[in-house]
A and B are shown apart, each in its own frame.
Chain A
Amino acid sequence: MVTLQFVPYHEIEDLGSARRVKKLIDIVKENKIVLLQGRLKKEEETDLISIAMEEFGDKFKGIELAVINPEDKDLSGIKRVRNNFFGFLLGDRQGLTIVGPASIVKEIKKDPNKIELLTKETKRTKKK
Chain B
Amino acid sequence: MINLIKTFINKVLRSLFKKKKNIKLGLYGPPNGGKTTLANRICKDWLGEDMGTVSNIAHETREIQIKEQINIKSKGKELTFNLVDTPGIATKIDFEDFVKAGLKEKQAKQRAKEATKGVIDSIKWLDEMDAVIIVLDATKDPFTQVNITIVGNLQARNIPVLIVANKSDLKKADVKKVQSSYPQYSVIGISAKYGNNIDKFYEGLFAIAG
CB proximity of A13 to chain B, nearest CB, Å: 17
Which residue of chain B has its CB nearest to the CB of A55? B116
B119 contacts A49, CB within 8 Å? yes
B120 contacts A65, CB within 8 Å? no
Q: Would you list which residues of chain B between 105 and 158 have a CB under 8 Å from chain A?
A: 112-113, 116-117, 119-120, 123-124, 126, 145-146, 148-149, 152-153, 155-156
A46 contacts B153, CB within 8 Å? yes
Interface segment among B32-40, B90-98, B169-177: the answer is: B90-98
B89 located at the interface, meaning its Cβ lies under 8 Å from any Cβ of chain A in the complex: yes
- Residues of chain B with a CB closer than 8 A to A41's CB: 156
The residues of A with any CB-CB pair to B shorter than 8 Å are 41-43, 45-46, 49-50, 52-54, 56, 61-67, 102, 108
Alpha-carbon gap, A102 to B90, bound state (A): 11
A102 contacts B149, CB within 8 Å? no
B91 contacts A52, CB within 8 Å? yes
Contact of A43 among B112, B148, B156 (CB under 8 A): B156
- Residues of chain B with a CB closer than 8 A to A53's CB: 93, 116-117, 119-120
- Residues of chain B with a CB closer than 8 A to A50's CB: 119-120, 123-124
- Interface residues of chain A: helix, strand, loop or mixed (majority): mixed
Alpha-carbon gap, A108 to B141, bound state (A): 13
B93 contacts A56, CB within 8 Å? yes
CB proximity of B58 to chain A, nearest CB, Å: 13
The residues of B with any CB-CB pair to A shorter than 8 Å are 89-94, 112-113, 116-117, 119-120, 123-124, 126, 145-146, 148-149, 152-153, 155-156
Alpha-carbon gap, A43 to B92, bound state (A): 18
B153 contacts A62, CB within 8 Å? no
Which residue of chain A has its CB nearest to the CB of B150? A46
- Residues of chain B with a CB closer than 8 A to A45's CB: 149, 152-153
Which residue of chain B has its CB nearest to the CB of A51? B120
Alpha-carbon gap, A52 to B156, bound state (A): 21
CB proximity of B210 to chain A, nearest CB, Å: 26
- Residues of chain B with a CB closer than 8 A to A42's CB: 149, 152-153, 155-156
Contact of A61 among B93, B120, B123, B156 (CB under 8 A): B93
- Residues of chain A with a CB closer than 8 A to B92's CB: 52, 61-64, 102
A65 contacts B153, CB within 8 Å? no
B91 contacts A102, CB within 8 Å? yes
Alpha-carbon gap, A102 to B146, bound state (A): 14
Contact of B145 among A43, A61, A67, A102 (CB under 8 A): A67
CB proximity of A101 to chain B, nearest CB, Å: 9
